[in-house]
Chains A and B, each alone.
Chain A
Amino acid sequence: MTALNRAGWRPEMNAGGVDDTTTFTGNRALMLEEPLIFEIGGSETTGVDFDEAAPAADLGTLARSAPIGLPGLSESETVRHYTRLSRQNYAIDLGLFPLGSCTMKHNPRLNEKVARMPGFADVHPLQPQETVQGAYAVIHELAEWLITLTGMHSVAMSPKAGAHGELCGILCIKAALEARGEDRRVILVPESAHGTNPATAAFAGFAVEDIPATGEGRVDLTALKARLGPDVAGVMITNPNTCGLFEREMKAISDAVHAAGGYVYCDGANFNAIVGRVRPGDLGVDAMHINLHKTFSTPHGGGGPGSGPVVLSEALAPFAPLPFVTSEDGRFRLIEEENAGEDHPQTFGRMTAFHGQMGMFTRALAYILSHGADGLKQVAEDAVLNANYVLRSLEDVLDAPFAASGPCMHEALFSDRGLAEGFSTLDVAKGLIDEGYHPMTVFFPLVVHGAMLIEPTETESKAVLDQFIGALRSIALRAKNGDPALKSAPHFAPRARLDETLAARKPVLAWSEPEVAPGTPSLSEIGGS
């Protein structure tokens, strides 16, 4: 067997012995260090058996002859490697994950089971339409729910994640303006917006300008009205906003934008707070993406996949992207490039290969059917109640800049004001890690100094919240009193604070075989000594 890394065993070779703070292996009981697959795998090792030999290929000069450098592990080693890695992660299955704006709620396992039914998981996107009527039915049924829950005219199902949905909405606006023969170049975005909003508008070729906020954390309607004009294509507003507040004047904002000839994009990242209680369609919204991985609980998976269907007003619906599903007499039909000319001539085009995130649609539909209309309303109410409970339980020890603006929606916002000199939001966050929690969203939104944005979600019990509040209260007091131990937290995590400056200054983005100094002992030599 050829070991790809002849240096062998890493990461902590304490061959010199152990004292009371180190161990020989670097492990500490259930805290297990794990090398890279490149350090333990071999180029000839495989965890997959085949029933036959591969016949000789005749590919001439196109044959891949040089080593690829891919390590293999047996199945037993593979299962152990990834299981050990998994234990270095925090997750919603382990405890409260109060990342503001991210909606980390429980992921029901029924949804995983459903998505894996062969009729959904083992179906090709280009199969003849008569063989995939059930898949179209899922898309159609979920689409109907999303339209009804939002009070909008129609929905584009294909966007792959929230930011892709934003792009879909913005392209609908661009296509609508083009159809009107107008060249409007500016999109207005509040300073408190997610970074994806200005990035999306710029990606689609718009200039981005800020909308100021009022002292109470909402869009400044007067300033917005003053900026509207023939060059403004539209606004992107998050509602509830990233300060955790409902934009009270949303309808007036929409009316003003429409009167000036623009369109209203709503960032639906925070739809969880209002699902079943408020329909964005009643607020004059023209387009809004829905993060199925937030409100409708498809798992985040350590960074995706997401899914970002976009609900559209009647004004923007004709421009929706291809493909989409229509229903006639119980039969479903796909509208794509070939028949769009007849059925959907003003479409702005296609955003992705195939039909969108089917695996997320099945999960989201199972989630929605499980809750029903009554349950979804309860979701919003409990999410809002939990956030207000956190806000009111901590406002005496942590600065809550908008606490006087009224109740919050699904998330509670605090700032670092009042912490001891030299202590910041980061120290509070890292302190929470030692208490067994994932930190809240930090330093966002940008409109608040040292922001801490806490979104507990509806799937946390009062007992969990009470313990979290107690823990955060204790950390806040330590930060106010300048407890030096907090500066070096976390102390009990798999890693202490990581050097992000070093990572960016000398990027190491892929593994390469290290130089081995002559005389370096191998694992067997160390073990045998």
Chain B
Amino acid sequence: MRYLPLTSDDRAAMLAAVGAASIDDLFVDVPAEARLDGAIAGLPDHASELAVERHMAALARRNMAAGDGPFFLGAGAYRHHVPASVDHLIQRGEFLTAYTPYQPEIAQGTLQMLFEFQSQVARLLGTDVANASMYDGSTACWEAIVMARRVTRRGKALLSTGLHPHYRSVARTMANYTGDVLVDGDPALVPGTDWAALAAAVDKEVSCVVVQYPDILGRIDDMAALASACQAAGALLIAVVTEPVALGLIKAPGEMGADIVVGEGQSIGVGLQFGGPYLGLFGCKAKYVRQMPGRLCGETADANGKRGFVLTLSTREQHIRREKATSNICTNSGLCALAFSIHMTLLGEAGLRHLAGINHGRAQAAAAELAKVPGVSLLNSGFFNEFTLVLPKAARPVIHELAEKGILGGVSLGRLYPDNDALANGLVVAVTETVTEEDIAAFAAALKEVLA
């Protein structure tokens, strides 16, 4: 067995050294009725690398990869080109096979990277500080709602109808068990957001208002007025960003007054990976830092006065505070944070703005082309790289027909809101730099055929 270095002679010598007659002597504390003597029945024995690779490759071939044809899916996960050096660097064993940096003297690589990551994320989101990552956007969103409860000592959260339905579903699930009160609902197929209504609804019982930007239908709006309304009522404004590339082109939520900004960092450096592992981004105003969940890396000095980095403010965390911790999170998304940080370093400010500009331009071109298909209209008045089309019939079967033609043509609102017939004709289409003009033409032609 290629991963196990002990030889039979080693095992015999070691058993003798510990005074055991056989390996079973070391499992003596396991009650006889729970001990398995042979290998578990019905399972195959070990396999060669070649055999395992063959098996896994056969499974992989049963999937249609995004790169196999024109691809337009988004709705919380975006396909961007990731430079080759990103994946090379995250596979360096010193990053890949390190643990959480508990011993900072020999973990400065990870720690400095996390400090750089936190700094990049804070600047991107427009917040004072950002943490060292959460699991993903959806769990970061719930953690932000819990944090707002701690800060305001109120338990009622208003969720915009433009929030990703999975994020809303996670919050609903958790609130069932924590006693938090949520006000939420499905979006309407209209060009504008529900933010003005939220601003009117926020009152002294509300802990936070949660908006997504760009939202699930791709709509964008200015949140400054909503931020003022929240501030006046003593509530926090939480902004959720599921497509961080957008922040290369549109104002950061922090700039517009959001108190907590969370996000899904997957679209920079991480890749689609069928939904995980992804990367939860979490930033906030400096005054709330001691109520933040998750790990934080901070600058300090070593005994010789040299600059160095450590995990800090750990008294918020479970391994110190146990049941009084701000969250139960331990392992987060370190390697995904590294991928994000490397990709962001390669882009730099100029590259990010350029990338965002191409995304926006390509999406505008696609929207114009697709809206020419008979019976199809564009819902949004403004968008970044994702928009909603209204089809003349239910979008969900259309998606399946498009897939048969080799085109992955977006996410139907029927998939996201299966119980809401009013949304059935909606189709959310994302267009990134990976989409070519030929892809757009092929999509428009196929859509025309399917709808004819």
* Assembled-state Cα–Cα distance A54/B359 (Å): 8
* Stretch of A221-229, A255-263, A345-353, A413-421 with 4 or more beta carbons under 8 angstroms from chain B: A345-353
- Which B109-135 residues have C-beta < 8 A from chain A? 109-110, 112-116, 118-120, 122-124, 128-130, 132-133, 135
Report B77-112 CB contacts with A as 1/0, cut-off 8 Å. Answer: 101000101011111111111111111111111101
Task: Give complex CA distance A73, B49 in Å.
Answer: 38
0/1 per residue, A443-478, Cβ < 8 Å to B?
010000000000000111110000000000000000
Q: Which residues of B contact A373 (CB under 8 A)?
A: 39-40, 43-45
Q: Output the least CB separation between A207 and chain B (Å).
A: 8
Cα(A163)–Cα(B143), bound, Å:
14
Residues on A with C-beta less than 8 A from B119 are 36, 38, 510-511
- Does A382 lie within 8 Å of B331, measured CB to CB? no
Residue with the highest number of chain B CB atoms closer than 10 Å, among A148, A392, A496, A503: A503
CA distance A457 to B332 in the complex (A): 23
With an 8 A cutoff between CB atoms, is B303 at the interface? yes
Chain A hits for B100, CB < 8 A: 300, 302-304
Chain B residues lying within 8 Å of A135, measured Cβ to Cβ, are: 63, 274
Q: Which of A66, A162, A299, A372 contacts B44, CB < 8 Å?
A: A372
- How many residues does chain B have at the interface if contact means C-beta atoms less than 8 Å apart? 206
Q: How far is the CB of B400 from chain A (nearest CB, A)?
A: 5
What is the minimal beta-carbon distance from B143 to any residue of chain A, in angstroms?
10
Give me 19 other A-B pairs in contact (C-beta within 8 A), A299-B97, A385-B23 excluded: A64-B255, A68-B123, A73-B346, A110-B52, A117-B56, A123-B273, A128-B399, A195-B330, A208-B323, A300-B97, A305-B335, A337-B418, A358-B275, A369-B44, A369-B56, A407-B25, A497-B105, A498-B300, A507-B296
A-B pairs with beta carbons under 8 Å apart, 18 shown: A37-B345, A47-B348, A48-B83, A69-B349, A73-B346, A78-B85, A88-B107, A117-B57, A132-B63, A195-B330, A205-B178, A250-B31, A277-B27, A299-B96, A305-B331, A354-B275, A384-B26, A495-B302
Q: A207: nearest residue on chain B (CB-CB)? A: B323
Q: Does B252 contact A (CB under 8 A)?
A: yes
**A205 and B6 form a contact (CB under 8 A):** no
Asked, given contacts A63-B249, A78-B346, whether A509 binds B35 with beta carbons under 8 Å apart, the answer is no
B11 at the interface (CB under 8 A from A): yes
Q: Does A27 contact B (CB under 8 A)?
A: no
Residue in contact with A429 in the complex, picked from B103, B109, B312, B400, CB distance below 8 Å: B103
The answer to whether B274 and A358 have CB atoms under 8 Å apart is yes
List which A485-528 residues lie within 8 A (CB) of chain B: 488, 490, 493-500, 502-504, 507-511
Is B197's CB within 8 Å of the partner chain A? Answer: no
Please state if B274 and A123 are interface contacts (CB–CB under 8 Å): yes
A6 interface contact, C-beta 8 A:
no
Query: Is B139 an interface position by the 8 A CB rule?
Result: yes
Determine whether the beta carbon of A68 is less than 8 Å from that of B349.
Answer: yes
Contact of B133 among A46, A304, A352 (CB under 8 A): A304
> How far is A480 from B344 in the complex, measured between Cα atoms in Å?
49
Chain B residues, CB < 8 A from A52 = 358
- Picked from A73, A251, A503, the residue with its CB within 8 Å of the CB of B34 is A251
**Chain A, 104-119, contact with B by CB distance < 8 Å: what is the 0/1 string?**
1011101011111111
A167 and B103 CA atoms in complex are apart in Å by 28
**A130 in contact (CB, < 8 A):** yes
The answer to whether B105 and A494 touch across the interface, beta carbons within 8 angstroms, is: yes
Residue in B13, B46, B63, B331 whose CB lies within 8 Å of A163: B331
How far, in angstroms, from A379 to B408 measured CA to CA in the complex? 43
With an 8 A cutoff between CB atoms, is B276 at the interface? yes
- Please provide the chain A residues from 296 to 341 with a CB less than 8 Å away from any CB of chain B in the complex: 299-307, 321, 337-338
Q: Which of A262-276 contact B (CB under 8 A)?
A: 274, 276
- A372 to B329 CA separation, bound complex (whole angstroms): 32
Tell me how far the C-beta of A100 lies from the nearest C-beta in chain B, rounded to whole angstroms.
11
A200 within 8 A of B: yes
Decide if B42 touches A148 in the complex (CB within 8 Å).
yes
Cα–Cα distance between A461 and B11 once the two chains are bound (Å): 10
Most A CB within 10 A of own CB, among B3, B110, B130:
B3
For the side of the interface on A, what is the size category?
35 or more
The 9 A-B pairs with the shortest beta carbon distances in the complex, nearest first, are A72-B348, A54-B357, A349-B173, A119-B60, A301-B335, A354-B275, A134-B62, A93-B93, A303-B334
Which residue of the partner chain, among A79, A92, A124, A201, contacts B97 with CB atoms under 8 Å?
A92
* CB–CB A72/B349 < 8 A: yes
B369 adjacent to chain A (CB < 8 Å): no
- For the complex, give the distance between the alpha carbons of A381 and B4 in Å: 11
Judge whether A498 and B308 touch: CB under 8 Å.
yes
* Cβ–Cβ contact B403 & A128, under 8 A: yes
Q: Are A278 and B52 closer than 8 Å at their CB atoms?
A: no
B309 to chain A, nearest CB (A): 8
Write the B276-309 contact mask toward A (1 if CB under 8 angstroms, else 0). Answer: 1110000000000100000111111111101111
What is the bound-complex CA distance between A204 and B146, given in angstroms? 11
Given contacts A119-B63, A125-B272, A509-B289, contact A145 B349 (CB under 8 A): no
A276 touches B36 (CB 8 A): yes
Tell me, in angstroms, the Cα distance from A385 to B4 when the chains sit together.
Answer: 12
Complex contact A304–B272 (CB within 8 A):
no
Q: Is B318 an interface residue (CB 8 A)?
A: yes
Please report the C-alpha to C-alpha distance between residue A301 and residue B65 in the assembled complex, in whole angstroms: 26
Q: Give bound CA distance, A507 to B344, whole Å.
A: 24
Interface stretch of the complex, out of B161-169, B371-379, B438-446 = B161-169
Tell whether, in the assembled complex, residue B361 and residue A54 are in contact, meaning their CB atoms are under 8 Å apart: yes
Expressed in whole angstroms, the minimum distance between the Cβ of B21 and any Cβ of chain A is: 12
Q: Give CA–CA (A369, B173) in the complex, Å.
A: 35
Which B residues lie within 8 Å of A350 (CB)? 166, 169-170, 172-173
The complex places the Cα of A496 from the Cα of B25 at a distance, in Å, of: 43
Please report the C-alpha to C-alpha distance between residue A393 and residue B346 in the assembled complex, in whole angstroms: 50
